[in-house]
Amino acid sequence: MKEEQEQWLEDILHSAQGKAPVSPNPALLEAIQTQLKQEPYLQLTKSNWTKNWIAAAAIVLGLLNVFAFQQILSNNYSSENTSAPSTNYESLISDYNLYE
Amino acid sequence: MHTSSKDLLAAVSHGDDVAFQQLYERFSAKVYSTALSYAQQEQEAEEITQDVFVNIFRKAHQFKGKSAVSTWIYRITVNASLNHIQSKKRRFFWQPLEQIPEPSNFHHPGISLENKENATLLYAAIKTLPDRQKTAFILSFIEDLPRQEVADIMETSLKSIEALLQRSKKNLRDQLKKWHPNRGKKKK
């Protein structure tokens, strides 16, 4: 009795195997193409614009960083130049210490 | 000339309409058949098929070629089908009981007459399975895909697919016995 129930269950579990292939309504492709023509191009264009703006902003920021870095380097260089003669001033001052 | 699915998808990513049509002709029956197993209604299966191909067109540029194109398309189909079922459940959650349609006895158009009654019971039982068991069972036993491809589609191991299939079969058997406790038993 149990064997027969098992067979019945097995028959059900395998009842969909070997089914014939099915296809959607032939008009579906046209419906999809219509939907694609109606909206996604706008979204794609919008997303490209966003990407372009992000890229442009990144380039501007990069250039600003390079410019700022160059400024810092040149400032350091010029401050080194001005600090160099300070020893000469010290010696000059010490030369005028007449009462030491 | 036979163009590979990867080449077709690459052309689709550049907006090629002819390539899109060829890809549709190659995969629409598989997508529709899988969607039909989930939705169990022809009109809803067509809606899912439409969603899938719109997504294929939109996301073609995201395909990295790490898997087969068919695996990628099946993955989109499974996700679209599960999302469709979820949104349908949410829609009906807010409706009064009398407006919720009765679960119909689904007759798959591709199933032979001799298997029709059994298959209707099978599809009704499939509806009660949890999502991952449902997917493993549909892809393996309804769509007849190789286990490795099912594992690739579900992004899991072969071992866990086997475990999911065992659990799904057990749950289906239990459900069928619950619905028809005396079926398949000899009458005294």
Provide the mean pLDDT of chain B: 90
CA distance B102 to chain A (A): 22
- B141/A22 touch (CB, cutoff 8 Å), yes or no: no
Q: Are the C-beta atoms of residues B12 and B23 closer than 8 Å to each other?
A: yes
- The pTM of the full predicted model, rounded to 2 decimals, is 0.74
Instruction: Say which residue, B36 or A4, is predicted with more confidence.
Output: B36
Residue A6 contacts B where some CB pair is shorter than 8 Å: yes
Which residue is it, tokens 């590979």?
B4
The per-residue pLDDT for B137 is 97
The per-residue pLDDT for B104 is 57
Q: Are the C-beta atoms of residues B125 and B37 closer than 8 Å to each other?
A: no
B40-55: per-residue pLDDT in tens?
A: 999 999 999 999 999 9
Across the A:B interface, residue pairs with CB atoms under 8 Å apart total 101
Q: Which residues of chain A have pLDDT under 70?
A: 1, 39-49, 77-100
Q: Which residues of B touch A19 (CB under 8 A)?
A: 108, 110-112, 115, 119, 142
Q: Which residues of B touch A36 (CB under 8 A)?
A: 54, 57
Q: Are the C-beta atoms of residues B78 and B86 closer than 8 Å to each other?
A: no
- B50/A9 touch (CB, cutoff 8 Å), yes or no: no
* Distance in angstroms (rounded) separating the CA atoms of residues B33 and B72: 16
The number of C-alpha atoms within 13 Å of B119 and in the hemisphere containing its C-beta is: 21
CA distance B155 to chain A (A): 24
Q: Are the C-beta atoms of residues B67 and B103 closer than 8 Å to each other?
A: no
- A24/B28 touch (CB, cutoff 8 Å), yes or no: yes
CA distance B50 to chain A (A): 6
Q: Are the C-beta atoms of residues B28 and B72 closer than 8 Å to each other?
A: no
B71-119: per-residue pLDDT in tens?
A: 999 999 999 999 999 888 776 656 665 554 444 588 899 998 899 999 9
Given A16, A29, A40, which is nearest B111 (Cβ)? A16
* The token pair that represents B58 in the structure block: 């939109």
Instruction: State the alpha helices, DSSP H only, in B140-182.
Output: 147-153, 158-179
Given A1, A20, A33, which is nearest B110 (Cβ)? A20
- Residue A86 Cα distances to A30, A75, A76, A81, angstroms: 84, 17, 16, 10
**In chain B, which residue's Cα lies nearest the Cα of A5?**
B184
- Amino acid in position B77: T
The per-residue pLDDT for B185 is 64
Mean pLDDT of B168-180: 93
- A19/B50 touch (CB, cutoff 8 Å), yes or no: no
**In chain B, which residue's Cα lies nearest the Cα of A8?**
B184
The per-residue pLDDT for A5 is 86
Residue B134 has pLDDT above 60, yes or no: yes
Q: Which residues of A touch B172 (CB under 8 A)?
A: 12-13
- A23/B29 touch (CB, cutoff 8 Å), yes or no: yes
